[in-house]
Structure 1
Amino acid sequence: MAKNLFQNLDLNLLHVFFILYRERNMRLTAGRLFVSQPAISKSLQKLRHHFGDELFVKIPSGLEPTPFAVNLFQSISPVYQDLELAVNSVNEFDPAALEDTFHIALSPFLLNSIGSKLFLNIMASAPKCNVQMYKWSTDSLSQIQQDRLHLGLTYQIPELPSEVSEKYISTERFKCYVRKNHPCKKTSISLSEAAQYDFAAIIAADWNYQQTIAQGIFAKNNLDYRVKFRSELPSTILDVISETDMIAPLSGFLDISHYPQLRAIKINVDEGVLDYKISTYFHYKNRQNPLTQWLNNLVLKTFEEQKQKQKSPLI
């Protein structure tokens, strides 16, 4: 008869296994669980003895799971995640009682335009928490898969890993910005008129790293297009267009009242060409988690507040 591996299995050890599998690193696992590395090493030895398998082998970059460990993780992951969610949902969710540190990655466009407002909304409901916001990068999806990020906020990604869930938040309508004393005095110009000027553009991982928004639009209309400057930092783009005659396509959610030296200029293109969907991304296991739902609602609230502010006659 085959050995009953579930019998006498310590669920605390199983939790260590899941974190080790995601982190592939003893030190990071110890940090996640707030214990020492020797304690993690001791737990791994118990797991190896229980399952009769090495489970993880050392490699230069950390730990590599054995085929048995991969199969174990894939087989019990859905059940374990449902159990974790059920246990955590027993307590009534109260943001004011939270003392967590939230890790959120945002597209640089959105980090610049709504990042501070989202932080203030989080603090209003959960004043004991800390927030760390990162620029969305090429490994952000991997960070979500490994459950290292609470939330990602960026422009819609067409193909997602099975572990990542998506929630549509809003539709972005990009605008072009120039300095107040830009030689073009019009508030609306054609593509051919815009092509007379150099452009500054943001570099956004997983979205426009290879080609900017404007490049695709100008190429489709057989017009030359000059990208004079690109940066990952929106603040640098704003500084550059404040001192030059360049045009910069930036988020329509940008609070222009914070930049009195700039003004928006409309470039006449077909309806919807400059519209892009914005979504949040989070681990699939957290889709029903009250914390994730709360964060998603705060993101929605932040966008709605910004939309209302932009409609104000004072802006």
Structure 2
Amino acid sequence: MAKNLFQNLDLNLLHVFFILYQERNMRLTANRLFVTQPAISKSLQKLRHHFDEELFVKISTGLEPTSFADKLYKSASPIYQNLEIAINSANVFSPEALDDTLNIALSSFLLNSIGSKLYGIIHAAAPNCKVHMYKWSNDTLASIQQDQIHLGINYQVSQLPGEISETVIAQDTFKCYVRNGHPCKKNIITIPEAAEFDFATIIAADWNATRTFAQQVFEKYNLDYSIKFRSELPSAVIEAVSKTDMIVPLSGFLDMSLYPQLRAIKFKNKEKWLQQDIATYIHYKNRSSPLMNWLSHLIAQVFDESSQKSPAQ
């Protein structure tokens, strides 16, 4: 039975063979591959051992391929070139040609702040792409691990699974939001002044589901406080605040043109909880994916544009 010469063949050595065949010179081959001549000589020895053939003989002008080398080059070169094209094309990404469905999970705080903007910028670059946006839940990290969610956007999450890659992409500065006509007429408010009013908050999985940051701040100041309403639905919280004198802390990226019934009030106190890093979360194996890199770039662009449109913090 003939020996299977392809079995255990190092494709890097095969690449050296093709360049060596074209150049017929050790030095020129080494220059093209950005390695030393001894490295080329060592690779040639391995090739000779693998094929059990003398692939090249020395002549005054360099190297002359043997008949075995001629036959190998002529038969394998077209296949190798097609393989090279296929591998390189796998790294070429064209948003215009993208017709897949992107599953993206966002924190409840961010879904109503940048969700529509993010879809708009994705659609403009990839008009054939379908986008499904989900509210970040307790199962989102597991869904990312299982490739059911392609990318998540949330405030930094603690205790990440090892398979999840986190990249900080923006920073949010929270503000108070009240209805137009609210008793508080100030544009800047202190923590004690804010505690005089009832609060509403959004429940966000993996972030503040158990204990809100507002609670932590009020307790730090030894202030009495009242959180009257909490919901996982941003729309429900905003609707409740629009009809009462409650205050709701929300993302500074909130597009106020979409909520003319609300007014933003900045916090005077520079509390740590007011400044929150926003990160993207993907499966570690996709950290160098052209698709994920493109999508992450668009997300950063959305936050950057939203930040520029917002009043100075």
Residue 141 of structure 2 aligns to which amino acid in structure 1?
L
Distance 1:232 1:87, change over 3 A: farther
| Aligned residue in 2 for 1:60 | none
1:119 aligned residue: 119
The corresponding residue for 1:302 is 302
1:108 match: 108
The two structures, once aligned, show a CA RMSD in angstroms of 1.7
Do the aligned partners of 2:92 and 2:290 also contact (CA within 8 Å) in 1? no
Counterpart mapping for 1:1-315 below 5 A: 90=90, 92-311=92-311
Give the secondary structure class of the aligned counterpart of 1:292.
Answer: helix
How far off is 1:269 after superposition? 1.7
Count of paired positions: 228
* Counterpart amino acid of residue 158 in structure 2: P
Measure, in 2, the Cα distance between the counterparts of 1:120 and 1:88: 30
SS of the aligned residue for 1:185 comes to coil
Tell me how far 1:261 sits from its aligned partner: 1.5
Structure with larger Rg = 2
Supply the AA of the counterpart residue of 1:138: N
Moved more, 215-224 or 183-192: 183-192
What is the alpha-carbon distance in structure 1 between the residues aligned to residue 220 and residue 311 of structure 2? 32
What CA distance in whole angstroms lies between the structure 1 residues aligned with 2:264 and 2:311? 15
TM-score, normalised on structure 1?
0.69
* Partner Cα distance (1:150, 1:263) in 2: 35
The answer to whether the 8 Å contact 1:89/1:290 transfers is no
Larger mean Cα displacement after TM superposition, 185-194 or 281-290: 185-194
**Alpha-carbon separation, structure 2, partners of 1:126 and 1:118:** 12
- 2-structure distance, mates of 1:200, 1:294: 36
Q: Quick one: which amino acid aligns to residue 153 of structure 2?
A: L
- Match for 1:276: what amino acid? Q
Cα displacement string for residues 32-77 of structure 1 (whole angstroms, at most 9, x for unaligned residues)? xxxxxxxxxxxxxxxxxxxxxxxxxxxxxxxxxxxxxxxxxxxxxx
Secondary structure of 1:141's partner?
helix
What CA deviation, in whole Å up to 9, does each residue of 1:1-60 have, x standing for no partner?
xxxxxx9xxxxxxxxxxxxxxxxxxxxxxxxxxxxxxxxxxxxxxxxxxxxxxxxxxxxx
Identity score, percent: 59
Q: Structure 2: how far apart are the matches of 1:271 and 1:225?
A: 17
Which consecutive residues of structure 1, in runs of 5 or more, have no partner in the other structure? 1-6, 8-85
Deviation at 1:270, TM superposition (A): 2.8
| Structure 1 stretches of at least 4 aligned residues deviating more than 4 Å after TM superposition | 86-89
Distance 1:98 1:273 in 2: 39
Secondary structure, counterpart of 2:254 in structure 1:
coil
Deviation at 1:91, TM superposition (A): 5.0
Letter matched to residue 270 of structure 2: D
Paired position in structure 2 for 1:41:
none
TM-score of the aligned structures, taking structure 2 as reference length: 0.70
Amino acid at match of 2:247: I
Q: Cα–Cα, structure 1 residues 90 and 189, in superposed 2: closer, same or farther, change >3 Å?
A: closer
Q: Structure 2: how far apart are the matches of 1:227 and 1:156?
A: 24
Q: Following the alignment from structure 1 to structure 2, what is the Cα–Cα distance between the partners of residues 200 and 302?
A: 27
